[in-house]
Amino acid sequence: MSEEKKMGWKSLPIGGYLLEPGSAMKYKTGDWRAFRPVVDQGRCINCLLCWIYCPDAAIIRLEKYVDVNYEYCKGCGICANECPVKCITMVEEKR
């Protein structure tokens, strides 16, 4: 994911207050990930179990298979664990 420019102490609102409601979407949690789920889309049967189980709503539904929103996916691996055809593999992130 792209490196966001993070605010310094001078520009951050006092005391870590969040002055804009509903701003959690702006907090990209993808960089917490140690392992990334990679979907073999040719083998995906589009059952959407991963979409149901994903605690971060980071599975993207496409017409015939799924994809992953890497901006938010924290790499928990639940999707890979639940996938009935084992088409999702967890690949170590290299930084």
**Which residues form the interface with another protein (CB under 8 A)?**
6-9, 12-21, 23
Distance between CA atoms of residues 89 and 95, nearest Å = 19
Residue with tokens 């001078």: 10
Q: Which is nearer to another protein, 14 or 25 (CB)?
A: 14
Q: How far is the CB of 3 from another protein (least distance, A)?
A: 11
| Residue 20: other Cβ atoms inside 10 A | 7
Q: How far is the CB of 18 from another protein (least distance, A)?
A: 4
Distance of CA 62 to the CA centre of its chain: 16
Q: How far is the CB of 84 from another protein (least distance, A)?
A: 34
What are the backbone angles phi and psi of residue 15, rounded to the nearest 5°? 65, 15
Q: How far is the CB of 46 from another protein (least distance, A)?
A: 34
Residue among 21, 33, 42 at smallest CA distance from 69 = 33
Q: Which is nearer to another protein, 19 or 84 (CB)?
A: 19
Task: Judge contact between 46 and 3, C-beta under 8 A.
Answer: no
Q: Which is nearer to another protein, 22 or 84 (CB)?
A: 22
Q: Which is nearer to another protein, 5 or 64 (CB)?
A: 5
